[in-house]
A = this chain, B = another copy of it.
């Protein structure tokens, strides 16, 4: 069924090149919370392909084959971007596309859309997920919403998230925890400091622990995850003439996926034994899942080498759902969110070819 098209709807040509499609997707501005237009365009462009069942949920679009294959692979990407900063429309310069969304992650979405349209007889059933609100608060995340409200749409034996990895495979991801260590003292006038107790001075030991800490490097399923433990904020002080009775050090712990969130917090409690510690944020990591046969096949098809993913990504949502997942997408992640965000065209082509090689030969 071809849906009636709104005449204002941008037309996405899924039969063309992923490079051109990247440009078209970027030029539909879709800062988090404003994804309706791009979701409409994606939904409409997928709906004309009879091999796909297309499902709309808020501003997420899911398309899937139902061929009765023995396995199902989920390929997902978010369609929102961080705010535009005079970096649209996209321009091409040499072998790069420059502009908001090129790296994070409309090039990855373009690759997925072209393959979703083209692979009508894949060796595995495929679920393509294009979702909203990845760049904002975790509770708004479209993939998280689907996991809560329509978990059957995430079901699969293996998942690939098209986040930028410079077209290499980055397995799993580190977990992340944020805790606050609160120091309490006794307020006093600073002219009579001996009457009080300076809470900021007590932060010296907390910062020393952090400075002296040697982050571990842990091997998980053959990949080495590098951890990190850092103060990301510190506050304290009442007034220029007052001995402060409060200081708070906010700490971010990036932990290898071989630790559960609970274990990560236990590690912090041990490290800051005796301190008042409050957990303000905790997201589990994701094991790379590269021991799965499907993952092995995929890895072989796209070059054979996997690296660990240090940053937390939505692969952890698949992992929490029992679906091993990796990151694989065009673009240098260090360019994400930069005002001069840009993607190398060769990486778009490489990712398309890599996935095509795997899903054509499996």
Size category of the binding interface on chain A: 35 or more
Contact A200 B234 (CB under 8 A): yes
A122 within 8 A of B: no
Q: In the complex, A250→B239 CA distance in Å?
A: 10
Partner of A233 from B211, B244, B249, B334 at Cβ < 8 Å: B244
A191 within 8 A of B: yes
Contact B226 A232 (CB under 8 A): no
Partner of A252 from B174, B190, B232 at Cβ < 8 Å: B190
B interface footprint on A199-213 (CB within 8 Å = 1, 0 otherwise): 011111001101100
Q: In the complex, A19→B254 CA distance in Å?
A: 65
From residue 43 to 64 of chain A, which have CB atoms closer than 8 A to chain B? Answer: none
A317 to chain B, nearest CB (A): 17
Partner of A241 from B239, B244, B252, B334 at Cβ < 8 Å: B252
B interface footprint on A207-238 (CB within 8 Å = 1, 0 otherwise): 11011000100000000001011111111111
Contact B178 A254 (CB under 8 A): no
A311 within 8 A of B: yes
A189 within 8 A of B: yes
Partner of A198 from B174, B230, B237 at Cβ < 8 Å: B230
A148 within 8 A of B: no
Partner of A311 from B191, B230, B237 at Cβ < 8 Å: B191
Give every chain B residue within 8 A of A178 (Cβ-Cβ): 240
Give every chain B residue within 8 A of A353 (Cβ-Cβ): none
A281 within 8 A of B: yes
A-B contacts besides A191-B311, A193-B215, A198-B211, 11 pairs, CB < 8 Å: A176-B241, A190-B232, A193-B229, A198-B210, A200-B234, A203-B234, A204-B210, A232-B238, A233-B237, A234-B234, A235-B235
